[in-house]
Chain A
Amino acid sequence: MSTAKQRVTQRVTLAAIAGLALAAASQAALAQPRTDLVVGMALEPPHLDPTAGAAGAIKEVTYANLFEPLLRVDGDGKLVPGLAERWTVSEDGLTYRFTLRSNAKFHDGTAADSADVKFTLDRARAGDSVNAQKAYFAPIAKVETPDPQTVVVTLSRPDGLFLFHMASGDAAIVAPESAPTNKQKPVGTGPFKFDRWVAGDRVVLVRNPDYDGVKPKLDRVTFRFVSDPAAQVAALKAGDIDAFTLFSTYEALPEFRNDPKFAVTVGSTEGETVLSTNNARKPFDDVRVRRAMAHAIDRKTLIEGVLYGNGAAIGSHFPPHREGYVDLTGLYPYDPAKAKALLAEAGYPNGFDTTLRLPPPPYARRGGELVAAMLAEVGIRAKIEPVEWAAWLEKTFKGKDYDLTMIAHTEPLDIDIYARPDYYFNYRSERFNALNEELNRSQDAAKRNALYGEQQKILAEDAVNGFLFMLPSVTVQKAGLTGMWVNRPVQANDVTNAAWK
């Protein structure tokens, strides 16, 4: 009897010890942080060469992770060293001297030197170049390589944004041997190198053991492409995806915020979302009509309805988080009565009929419905016309055959689009263009910011477009993941600093 009891006690003790050992083991496992990461994105890149395509997804996979430009933009929007460890600009703003990292290598083992930089820049500005931002390279007159570590770029005219442009994914440094095959097998100089691409599903990058800079903490980063909003939420909740960037199923955010397993960050992109207006077409050629529309739109309700409150209102074409921003959101307060009065003054006491063309992103489709309803309140009857991207680009953007449309302009620091004579807004302002010329000539930050301020005021006064809100950068991630970008100063999913606690 007593032996039986003893045995039971022994068993219980053994079980307790085993349990403790298990607990200890699992704690040891916890102490070892994970070194892999699965990042979710809505769109799959068509290919992986950032120097030959505008699709944001290409840069979101490759920028800073796989490819490095001469300079990089960090998570705060500042210029930091990329392949060039330092640089100088001549007094007249025409000569740029870049010094490259001495031990930089491409993933295929070949050295990354000044010849590769010269090849990259010359290729991007050549006659047969297919670079989506070829204009970035247009000021370059010549590229010289006095030694393997030094590149001297001479411009034909000053360009205040040159360094900024050289930090874009479109200016990623590529090698002549691998450039033709980068679309499928990208070879860069970054801290991660390409592992494999399961087409339609994921791209896998692994740590580059030979990287000469600060080594990343992760061994392996997988980018998974999930376009369906319900599937995005499901993949996060099931634990298949660790962090979803540019998450746009805003209605699901409260759920994630209330769940301690997740962390939600809301920052800003560079995407000024505007009600683009055809300034050349009647009745929008009348500034009173455009101002009436500005008074008719209630931005607060719009942001609530489209972004569930996760976004900042804008009063001109400039992001609030950048230096040089001027708050002009108070210029046209929501005032339907005033809008009606302005319309009557312009000769439309009974309003008018027009069309509002909407591209596929949810912010446009959802926002367009609300904007149309707000315009209807003051008598502007906008017929909604949903179109897909290809048709939008062809008819609206290239053909300039439209009345109103809604779109986020995601390129960073792109206020200069209002100076382009052939741009689809059909806007012309000598004052604005003169300021743009001056901006190109100035390197001084304070002066540039003042000029940007003047430009913003002109656009707001002319009510060129309906200035609505900044597209937010929402990331839903597992608690314990650190180092992900909150803001989106350039199109990128820079995971070089990401780590698990």
Chain B
Amino acid sequence: MLAFLLRRLASLIVTVWLATIVVFTVLQLVPGDPALLMLGVNAQPDTLAALRSQMGLDQPILTRYLDWAGGLARGDLGVSLTYARPVAELVVERLTVTLPLALLSLAISTVLALPLGLYAAARRGRGGDWAVLGFAQLGVSMPSFWIAILLILLFSLTLHWFPAGGFPGWGGGIGPALHALVLPALALAVPEAAILARVTRTAVLDTLGEDHVRTARAKGVGRTAVLLRHALPNALIPVATVLGLQISFLVAGAVVVENVFTLPGLGRLLYQAIGQRDLIVVQGVVVLLALFVVVVSALVDIACALADPRPKGVSS
């Protein structure tokens, strides 16, 4: 087991290191000078040179890579070229929006999907089932940004229950901040909930056909009790797998939804930084995202290895 973990850790480090090389190289190839972008069309050559040297852009490429990668190894993400603030600080600030948004929509989609899926399975082939399947089909077909616009039309412009966008910050209290996150979270959650509801329905139907469930039923356990105590716990394994997959989709979807609702999240930071050629910020955020994905997949692998009773040398 220890050898497996070490191997997993080594491949994780190599993957992230390769990611740093790729993102750094790609950004060098993209046209665009951060100094020119900052000083605009009337900037004089000597002013541009002064700013470039201030930003450290006059150093050779290899030196710049080593400086940056060395900083990363020490946990230092560098200082943003445009905002003149440490990248780590910017990322943490934006995570306070993106993380609650992702968690809230994960919670909403789970709370919506499990009962719906279970209900559809119980009512298989009848009206209720069709209604849930219909909702799921609709939810899967509509992209988050479209749902977002519909939600704004109804809840902000017509009913005035929620703001149409923006984020007051957590400094103004938890209430207003959560209030601003409800619609975006809902917009993100609906497509995820639709997928999850279908997965739950299928998984529950599968387990309902298994021997132990049929035995329980034959022993006289009631329909509802069988559904909740025997079918659901077993169905949760595939549901949890899909849920895990959805986390990365939530982060990707957050970029779009953050733009529709003008939420100052990590996705918008990345989007703006690319436009401003804030190379240090782009590099830092991309590497952090790569690290996140790699760590999540490593955790999944480790969990599978733990759950798998076969010898470790054979599996994985």
Give A residues with C-beta under 8 Å from B. 44, 46-47, 53-55, 127-135, 183-184, 196, 198-202, 224-228, 230-231, 234-235, 237-240, 388-391, 393-395, 397-398, 409, 411
Q: How far apart are the CA atoms of A235 and B162 in the complex, in Å?
A: 11
Q: Is the CB of A132 within 8 A of B40?
A: yes
Closest-CB distance, B79 to chain A (whole angstroms): 11
Q: Are A53 and B38 in contact (CB under 8 A)?
A: yes
Residue from the set A127, A198, A389 with the largest chain B CB neighbour count within 10 Å: A198
B44 & A134 in contact (Cβ 8 Å cutoff): yes
The answer to whether A54 and B46 touch across the interface, beta carbons within 8 angstroms, is: no
Across-interface contacts of B261 in A (CB, < 8 A)? 231
- Contacts of B165 on A, CB cut-off 8 Å? 226, 231, 234-235, 240
- Identify B32's interface contact among A129, A228, A235, A390, CB under 8 A: A390
Q: Judge whether A134 and B43 touch: CB under 8 Å.
A: yes
Q: How far is the CB of A58 from chain B (nearest CB, A)?
A: 10
| Chain A residues within 8 Å of B32, by CB | 388-391, 393-394
Known: A198-B169, A390-B275, A394-B33. A46 touches B82 (CB 8 A): yes
Q: Scoring B residues 148 to 181 as 1 if CB is less than 8 Å from chain A, else 0, what string do you get?
A: 0100110011001001111111010000000000
The answer to whether B33 touches A393, judged by C-beta atoms less than 8 angstroms apart, is: yes
Q: 20 additional contacts, CB 8 Å, given A231-B262, A393-B36?
A: A46-B38, A46-B82, A130-B50, A196-B171, A198-B168, A198-B169, A200-B94, A200-B97, A200-B265, A201-B263, A225-B262, A226-B166, A230-B260, A231-B165, A237-B164, A238-B163, A393-B32, A394-B32, A394-B36, A398-B36
B260 x A228 contact (CB < 8 A): yes
Query: Do residues A198 and B167 form an inter-chain contact, with CB atoms below 8 A?
Result: yes
On whether the beta carbons of B38 and A55 are closer than 8 Å, the reply is yes
3 closest pairs, A vs B, by CB? A200-B264, A54-B40, A390-B32
Q: Verify A132–B259 contact, CB threshold 8 A.
A: no
Q: Which label, helix, strand, loop or mixed, suits the secondary structure of the A interface?
A: loop
Least distance between B96 CB and chain A CB atoms (Å)? 11
**Contact present for A130 and B47 (CB under 8 Å):** yes
Residue of A with least CB distance to B155: A238
Interface centre among A227, A228, A238 (most CB of B within 10 A): A238
The answer for the CA separation of A393 and B85 in the assembled complex, in Å, is: 25
Chain B residue with the shortest CB-CB distance to A138 = B44
In the complex, how many angstroms separate the beta carbon of B159 from the nearest chain A beta carbon? 10
Q: Which residues of B contact A226 (CB under 8 A)?
A: 165-166, 262
Whether, in the assembled complex, B42 has its beta carbon less than 8 Å from a beta carbon of chain A, the answer is: yes
The 8 A CB mask of B79-103 against A (1 = contact, 0 = none) is: 0001111000010011001000000
B201 close to chain A: CB less than 8 A: no
Which residue of A54, A199, A227 is within 8 Å of B262 (Cβ)? Answer: A227
**Which residues of chain A are within 8 angstroms of B47 by Cβ–Cβ distance?**
129-132, 134
Which single residue of chain A is at the shortest CB-CB distance from B278? A46
A selection of 26 A-B contacts at a CB cut-off of 8 Å is: A46-B83, A54-B39, A54-B40, A130-B39, A130-B54, A132-B39, A132-B42, A134-B43, A183-B83, A183-B84, A199-B83, A226-B165, A226-B262, A234-B165, A237-B164, A238-B156, A238-B164, A240-B165, A388-B275, A389-B32, A390-B30, A390-B31, A390-B32, A391-B30, A393-B33, A394-B33
Q: Tell me the minimal C-beta distance from B14 to chain A in angstroms.
A: 32
* Min CB gap A6→B, angstroms: 41
Q: Please indicate the chain B residues that have their CB under 8 angstroms from the CB of A132 in the complex.
A: 38-40, 42-43, 47
CA distance A196 to B93 in the complex (A): 14
Q: Using a CB-CB cutoff of 8 Å, which residues 23-74 of chain B contact chain A? A: 30-34, 36-44, 46-47, 50-51, 54
Known contacts A231-B260, A231-B262, A388-B275; is-contact A135 B44 (Cβ 8 Å): yes
- Considering the complex, give the chain B residue whose CB is closest to the CB of A183: B84
Pair A237/B157 contact, Cβ less than 8 Å: yes
Q: In the complex, what distance in Å separates the CA atom of A235 from the CA atom of B180?
A: 13
B234 within 8 A of A: no
Q: Is the CB of A234 within 8 A of B264?
A: no
Contact B41 A54 (CB under 8 A): yes
A37 CB to nearest chain B CB (Å)? 15
A391: B residues at CB distance < 8 A: 30-32
On whether A201 and B167 interact (CB within 8 A), knowing A135-B44, A390-B37, A393-B41, the answer reads: yes
Contacting residues, chain B, for A130 (C-beta < 8 A) = 39, 47, 50-51, 54
Q: B247-290, CB under 8 A of A: which get 1 and which 0?
A: 00000000000011111110011001001110000000000000
List chain B residues, Cβ under 8 A from A134: 43-44, 46-47
Q: Is the CB of A397 within 8 A of B41?
A: yes
Residues in chain B near residue A227, CB distance under 8 A: 259, 262
Contacts A133-B42, A201-B167, A390-B275: A238 and B37 contacting too (C-beta < 8 A)? no
Q: In the assembly, what is the distance between CA of A411 and CA of B30, in Å? A: 28
B268 touches A47 (CB 8 A): no
